[in-house]
Amino acid sequence: MTTTNQTIYWTLTDEAPSLATCSLLPIVRAFTSKAEIDVKISDISLAGRVLSAFPEKLSEEQRVEDGLKFLGELTQDPNANIIKLPNISASIPQLKACIAELQTQGYDVPDYPEDPQTDTDADVQTRYSKILGSAVNPVLREGNSDRRAPGAVKAYAKKFPHSMGKWSKASQTHADYMRGGDFFSSEQSITMAEAGDVRIEFVDQAGNVEVKKELSLEKGEILDSMRMSCAALREFFEESLQDAKETGVMWSLHVKATMMKVSHPIVFGHAVTVFYKELFEQYGDLFEELGVNPNNGIGSVYDKIATLPTSKREEIEEAIHKCYEHRPKLAMVDSSKGITNLHVPSDVIVDASMPAMIRNGGKMWDANGQTADTKAVMPESTYARIYQEMINYCKTNGAFDPTTIGTVPNVGLMAKKAEEYGSHDKTYETQPGTMRVVAADGTVLMQHEVEKGDIWRACQTKDEPVRDWVKLAVTRARNSDTPAVFWLDYKRAHDAELIKKVETYLQDHDTDGLEIYIKTYNQAIRFSMDRMFRGKDTISVTGNVLRDYLTDLFPIIELGTSAKMLSIVPMLKGGGMYETGAGGSAPKHVQQVEEENHLRWDSLGEFLALAVSLEDLGLKGNKRAAVLAKTLDAATGKLLENNKSPSRKTGELDNRGSHFYLGMYWAQEVANQTEDAELAAEFKQLAEDLTSQESKIVAELAECQGTPAALDGYYHANRETVKKVMRPSASLNSALAK
């Protein structure tokens, strides 16, 4: 499939970004239409994906196209040009809420079967499993990742630094992780000398062999396997809780249940059943009967006991409260609502929560709305160590100073689902026996003894993405004249395989005069922090998970948010995907709109992504696109310079007002440029209209705020209703309509 040139696919996603799109797109189209560029919407929202999975259940007009499938195919097109906004990586509770909402709206989509009994149930569960968790990115990310803070954004952060909590040298905050029994300590890794099929097998204690999965591996493909011990995990949680209690620090759990959608909910579940040990001992049978699933958090208990007689419910609630007596304080997600860290697995996402804690002087919120030092628990040690390294650094040197520090951009291995550790399709909660990987000829390639409840998983990394990743790293080091560090730990089996490839492929490039290092994670982050502290930049060249973590960690320290990063996926096939910032705090944004009609979402990421998307069209022959790219960049710089980003405070400039200013600056820039006089003339009117009506439009955009705004849905809001909410300025709408 090839598309015609000159189409930008703009993804319609969820929550705040989808609301923002409704306001921003008409402005964007006013510009792109003059350059013969079509900006097409492609729906990859959670609701859209649910609806497209069950066409047979829906009426003709209810059916929707499978936007994700379409875009997945598009990634193979050299002309692909996709602007990808943040979407929900759904946990089971989120998926269920979405289904329920769609049902209320009259869509006959089936319930999510927790415990499928029939073939139909199983089929439904299979379809839903493709929607759960990090389902979008693996399909679209057909290239490696290039993320950096644009110059204008870094300059803005130096001029208008975000707040940084003070780090006390006496802070008790620390990262806590397993010292054995985890994935890190059991990892094995092989590289395929030739292409070949392998089987993942489980051998039970009686010697019966069950083939769990068959994989066709490419030549040069790396396959890892690893095990987390259930007993070691539960013992770790118990010790960690007791230690927190004794030392008086708050306890918080940091996992990524949405991305690691099979393994991390299990880990989360163990945290819940260890924390509330007596509760689950006392009411285990009843909970099983009620269908309580601790992997969905303590919230699952509250949900399931809601139907019990009041007296029984109160008895259980009392038992819950009794558990708190000998446990440490729990970090809160929402202290005003009493929502703890263990309530739902999707509420705390390690790559957002850890940087937030570090930015906040190592403190999280307790039940009284006070901040406190925290034991930040990340059971798996592989990546947890980098946070401890940064915590130690901040205790020693104080909080990083956004006005002086350097930047740590990232080149991340990501293409073809490389190191897709969340890869649920090769993750198993085991019975006692042996998990092993066997070659076609029966040779056992890797194996682990496993106990009941252990988590075993395998992970693939193809050779082509690695080769492309090394090339991208060298290119970025060269283009930005910045040292590049491969974060690879020779003590880790997978990384040891990767190091061999990196050392080989580096020889394909001219690295003369470049500083390129290979360092362990601890060495790498320390090296980067030492340089950052002295105002120097260092490219982090990392695997997929660290890419995910670091592109939140450093941006949040440097810029206050990862949403302001320029995030490019140069596709292996030649196209480009331009991602906009993370949506970590998006749910709170929607809530504020519903309550006070103020959207604090910052579309800066969209502005930056659109500019590089247009730049690419320019490079591919559309001269007007090049002009639009350049003027958009100038407009974005002006917007930052003049501080026209959304405020968090209702009544002040919000997302819509920021869009207006972008439109006004952009129109002014286009009207004033001389490269394309005809285009300048075409935008004269719009520039004048917006400039002259600035105060009127801003007033209209402020007026609507302060009262609740119904969106008629959360996951599947009514687009017409949303349009009315998001485009309240008649003056702006009519100027654009001209």
Q: Which residues bind a second copy (CB under 8 A)?
A: 168-172, 174, 176, 243-244, 247-249, 373, 375, 388, 392, 395-396, 526
Tell the smallest beta-carbon distance from residue 388 to a second copy (Å).
5
The tally of CA atoms less than 13 A away on the side-chain side of residue 363 is 16
Assigned token pair, 730: 């008649």
Q: Which residues pair with 176 in a beta bridge?
A: 377
Question: Would you say 1 or 170 has its CB closer to a second copy?
Answer: 170
Residue 247 CB, nearest approach to a second copy (Å): 4
Three-state DSSP state, 509: coil
Min separation Cβ 523 and a second copy, Å: 8
Nearer to a second copy, 386 or 632 (CB): 386
CA-CA distance, 372 to 171, in Å (whole number)? 10
Evaluate whether 568 touches 146 at the Cβ level (below 8 Å): yes
141 appears as a binding residue in the annotation: yes
Give rounded-to-5 percent helix, strand, coil for the chain.
50, 15, 35
Q: Is the dihedral of CA 724, 729, 733, 734 positive or negative?
A: positive
User: What residues contact 632, with CB distance under 8 A and at least 6 apart?
Assistant: 31, 607, 610, 611, 614, 666, 669
For a second copy, the closer of residues 175 and 722 by Cβ is 175
The nearer residue to a second copy, 374 or 562, going by C-beta atoms, is 374
Q: How far is the CB of 519 from a second copy (least distance, A)?
A: 12
Nearer to a second copy, 21 or 374 (CB): 374
CA distances from 615 to 341, 626, 632 (A): 43, 5, 10
User: Least CB distance from residue 119 to a second copy, whole Å?
Assistant: 50
CA distance 641 to 156: 7
Nearer to a second copy, 223 or 249 (CB): 249
- Shortest Cβ 530–a second copy spacing (Å): 8
Whole-number Cα distances in Å, 485 to 189, 538, 543, 557: 22, 7, 12, 19
Distance (Å, rounded) from C-alpha 607 to C-alpha 24?
A: 10
* Unique residue bearing structure tokens 């006390």: 168
Our CB check for a second copy shows the closer of 244 and 553 to be 244
Residue 294 annotated in ligand binding:
no
**Annotation-wise, does 89 bind a ligand?**
yes
How many angstroms separate the CA atoms of 367 and 250, rounded? 10
Give which of 640, 633, 634, 624 is closest to 682, Cα–Cα.
624
Q: Is 613 annotated as a binding residue?
A: no
Closest distance to a second copy from the beta carbon of 173 (Å): 8
Nearer to a second copy, 445 or 499 (CB): 499
Residue 713 marked ligand-binding:
no
Q: How many residues does the chain have?
A: 738
Number of Cβ within 10 Å of residue 522's Cβ equals 14
Q: How far is the CB of 248 from a second copy (least distance, A)?
A: 8
Residue 386 among known ligand-binding residues:
no
Asked if residue 139 belongs to a known ligand binding site, the reply is yes
Q: Is 589 annotated as a binding residue?
A: yes
Annotated ligand binding at 601? The verdict is yes
Closest approach, Cβ 490 to a second copy, in A, equals 12
Is 600 annotated to bind ligand? yes
Q: What is the DSSP string of 665-717?
A: HHHHHHHH-SS-HHHHHHHHHHHHHHHHTHHHHHHHHHHTTTS----S-SSS-
The annotation status of 648 as a binding-site residue, yes or no, is yes
Instruction: Tell me if 602 is assigned to a ligand binding site.
Output: yes
SS (H, E, C) 346-391: CCCEHHHHHHHHHHCCCEEECCCCCEEEEEEECCCHHHHHHHHHHH
In 3-state terms, what secondary structure has residue 410?
A: strand
Q: Is 397 annotated as a binding residue?
A: no
Do 345 and 293 form a contact (C-beta atoms < 8 A)? no
Quick one: which of 121, 264, 201, 92 has its CA closest to 450? 201
Q: How far is the CB of 411 from a second copy (least distance, A)?
A: 25
CB atoms within 10 A of CB 179: 11
Ligand-binding annotation for 413, yes or no, is no
The answer for residues whose C-beta is within 8 angstroms of residue 168's C-beta and 6 or more apart is 361, 362, 395
**Which is nearer to a second copy, 117 or 396 (by Cβ)?**
396
- Residue 548 assigned to a binding site: yes
Residues 182 and 200: their CA atoms lie apart, in Å, by: 20
Q: With respect to a second copy, which residue has the nearer C-beta, 225 or 388? A: 388
Find tokens 């590289």 and name the residue.
191
Using CA atoms, how far apart are residues 5 and 623, in angstroms rounded to an integer? 13
Nearest approach, Cβ of 691 to a second copy (angstroms)? 49
Q: How far apart are CA 562 and CA 204, in angstroms?
A: 46
The answer to whether the annotation marks 138 as part of a ligand binding site is: yes
Asked if residue 552 belongs to a known ligand binding site, the reply is: yes
Closer residue to a second copy in complex, CB, 483/587: 483
Q: For the CB of residue 489, give the shortest distance to a second copy in the complex, in Å.
A: 12
C-beta closer to a second copy: residue 248 or 432: 248
For a second copy, which is the closer residue by CB, 247 or 643?
247
| SS3 of residue 238 by DSSP | helix
Q: Which of 164, 111, 156, 352 is nearest to 252 (CA)?
A: 352
Shortest separation between residue 658's beta carbon and a second copy, angstroms: 39
Mark the binding-site residues for NADP(+), compressed into ranges.
84-89, 137, 584-585, 589, 600-602, 648
Mark the binding-site residues for substrate, compressed into ranges.
134-141
Mark the binding-site residues for Mg(2+), compressed into ranges.
351, 548, 552
Mark the binding-site residues, compressed into ranges.
84-89, 134-141, 147, 351, 547-548, 552, 584-585, 589, 600-602, 648
Mark the binding-site residues for D-threo-isocitrate, compressed into ranges.
147, 547
